[in-house]
Chains A and B, each alone.
Chain A
Amino acid sequence: MALIEAVDIRKRYRSGEVEAQALNGVSLSVQAGAFTALAGPSGSGKTTLLNIIGTLDRPESGTLTVAGRDVLSLSAAERAAFRLSHIGFVFQAYNLIRVLTARENVAYVQQLQGVSAAERNAVADRLLAEVGLDGMGDRRPDQLSGGQQQRIAVARALATSPDIVLADEPTANLDSHTGESLMQLMQQLNETRGTTFLISSHDPLVLAHARQVVHLRDGLVQEDASA
């Protein structure tokens, strides 16, 4: 069975007078271990779909199974717990808690799970090394570049060893060089750890790295092409 199985997801948003970011019956299936891009112009519903899969948002209709769980039937508290143990997030920007150091940011999610300080700090340091930020654990976000911040976000997303990492336009605020190295990092982590990545983006760089691209336009999946 697929890791993510979404069937006929519908969701409408109103932003002022304009109906925007609507999903008009999206079906999607992502296998475990996949490295999938969700492509489409802005306003096509990428973020909405990602939020629904990440249990941050709920559709008006449709069915959704993530990691074998019918997530639409979960309560708010159950969803929070589910996110904590099964899903990692990387957002476009403002990923980090400003007042925490890089290490504390990465360790934070494990702390929510009640992991001991020694253990979670060890995990955080290992992950920081893995994303190429060895020795920067004590820096605060405002002392780091945008690319470094996104790397920390990736490290944090992996800290709880989730089944899936959802990344929403992770390269949008980065220059192409930094974006490229971030994509290489994620791809490498996908290969070495087997973690599933679902990345929304209209950045050609991202699409070039993806093994599977799902195109979203006007709230519908247009084609399901494997790279």
Chain B
Amino acid sequence: MFDLSIYLKLGWRNLWLHPLRTGLTVAALALGIAALTFLSAMNDGWLQQIRTNFALTMTGHLQIHASGFQQTLKLARHIKDPAQVMQALDGLAGIHSVTSRLRVSGLASVAGANAGALVYGVEADKERHLSRLAGFVTQGRWLLDSDDRAVVLGDGLADRLQVALGDKVVLMAALDNGDIASEVFRVRGLLHSGVLDIDDLAAVVPLGRAQQWLDMGQGVTDIVVRADDFEQVTGLVDQLRQRLHAGDGSQSAAADSSGYEVMSWSEIDPMAEQWSAFADAYTWIVLAVVILVVLAEVLNTMLMSMHERSREFGLMGALGVRDSQMFFMVIWETVILVSVGSVLGFMTGGWAVWHFGKVGIDLSQFAVAFSFMYMSPVIHPLLAFDSLLGILGAAILGAVVAGLFPAWKAARLDPAAAMREV
């Protein structure tokens, strides 16, 4: 068999014939790869953050509703017997906590001003364990289980209504028979989450009072589950759908209103998924362009090196090296060049990811944009294995492509002509 080790040696040593040139090329490659690695890690870090923040701010990892509720938001489609659902949740592994909510859209008004509001009836103590809502309270306090007519308002909503702690607010909503019911609450706390939909709309009240006010008996609209981590979600959703004979929330008004729907966080609001798809497309375009520029540089180096060594290639041809062997030798050399650059690039990029993953990157000046996207302004880059493989694959594939032209030229070299060239 043909022994390849000589080409390893040849390729490696040829690269160092011009240390400055090879050094520059390797540095350019490493810089490109490091930048891509880091970008990709920023991206992955963001997406992870968006997912986590989204799920923990309010939505939870999954929710159980009466069939058709998510699409219609009609109080008529509520869970009449929450105990039955709780039973189904019993003994499932991977559940962090569970709480019930009553969710209705209505109007908040004070003398002289009113504004649209999303009213959440919550179990004060359980909610504190499940979502971050309690932690977002900036003035006053979170609800207590003993509270009755207390409300915690989003700070945007409070500002719109110009109410402060201790003020009275009237909440109005339509009952499921169409009548409008109103109830007076006293402001006990203000919260700021950074998420517009919550800060400008949320009015959080005790579940019991909300049930009474809206004439719901024991009924609730959402049973919210926080899983131990994201990996558990799909399994839990599947199991619950089976246990409850539930749908996935895509069927709306037509569905049997006595059934349930079980929805994961991404089904409740596909925003995070959409965003990640878009960010991926964006990253891939940047990746492609940077790889292209880097490969133009590699091609440039290989062509120069080829040209310089044409006499040597001629000699090899004269000695009996076959065209195909010459071809693979040049490809091989390109791959070595790119591999060295890539390894350095991954090490540099990896170090940056590790370092900034620990300390975080503070981009507070863009805070509004971040909170809108459920992102924290301090980013902790996180490198996903898939992204790493993608970059590596693109670099190696690119190396082969960039090597093709010089390799083809080397294989086509006429030894007699090459030797004549002095």
Contact = CB atoms under 8 A, between A and B. Distances in A.
Interface in A79-112: 80-85, 89, 91, 94-95, 97-100, 104, 108-109, 111-112
A74 interface: no
A99 B323 contact: no
B17 interface: yes
B311 A94 contact: yes
Given A91-B419, A104-B9, A111-B3, A84 B320 contact: yes
A99 B322 contact: no
Contacts of A47: 420
Given A80-B317, A91-B419, A99 B10 contact: yes
B17 A98 contact: yes
Contacts of A100: 9-10, 13
Contacts of B111: none
A95 B315 contact: yes
Query: For the side of the interface on B, what is the size category?
Result: 20 to 34
Contacts of B113: none
A56 B415 contact: yes
A114 B315 contact: no
A51 interface: yes
Contacts of A2: none
A104 B6 contact: yes
Interface residues of A, number: 29
A102 B312 CA distance: 15
Contact of B312 (A84, A94, A109, A117): A94
B304 interface: no
A206 B270 CA distance: 86
6 A-B pairs with least C-beta separation: A84-B320, A99-B13, A83-B320, A56-B416, A57-B416, A51-B416
Contact of B320 (A51, A81, A117): A81
26 contacts: A47-B420, A56-B415, A56-B416, A56-B419, A77-B322, A80-B320, A80-B321, A80-B323, A81-B322, A83-B319, A83-B320, A85-B320, A89-B319, A91-B419, A94-B312, A94-B315, A97-B315, A98-B17, A100-B10, A100-B13, A104-B6, A109-B319, A112-B319, A112-B325, A114-B3, A117-B3
Given A111-B6, A114-B2, A98 B320 contact: no
B324 to A, nearest CB: 8
Contact of B316 (A81, A91, A97, A99): A97
Contacts of A83: 318-320
Interface string A99-142: 11000100011011010010000000000000000000000000
Given A83-B320, A89-B319, A99-B14, 9 more contacts: A56-B415, A76-B323, A97-B312, A97-B316, A98-B17, A111-B3, A112-B319, A114-B1, A114-B2
Given A56-B416, A97-B10, A99-B17, A108 B319 contact: yes
Interface of A: 47, 51, 54, 56-57, 76-77, 80-85, 89, 91, 94-95, 97-100, 104, 108-109, 111-112, 114, 117, 156
Contacts of A56: 317-318, 415-416, 419
Interface in B1-54: 1-3, 6, 9-10, 13-14, 17
Given A94-B311, A94-B315, A98-B17, A109 B320 contact: yes
A94 B312 CA distance: 8
Interface string B405-416: 000000000011
Contacts of A77: 322-324
A112 B14 contact: no
Nearest to B418: A56
A50 B416 CA distance: 10
Nearest to A116: B3
A127 to B, nearest CB: 15
Q: Determine which residue in B6, B17, B311 has the highest number of CB atoms from chain A within 10 A of its CB, and name it.
A: B6
A114 B1 CA distance: 6
Nearest to A153: B315
A163 to B, nearest CB: 14
Nearest to A85: B320
Interface in B314-342: 315-325
A77 B3 CA distance: 18
Nearest to A52: B416
B321 A112 contact: yes
Contacts of B415: 56
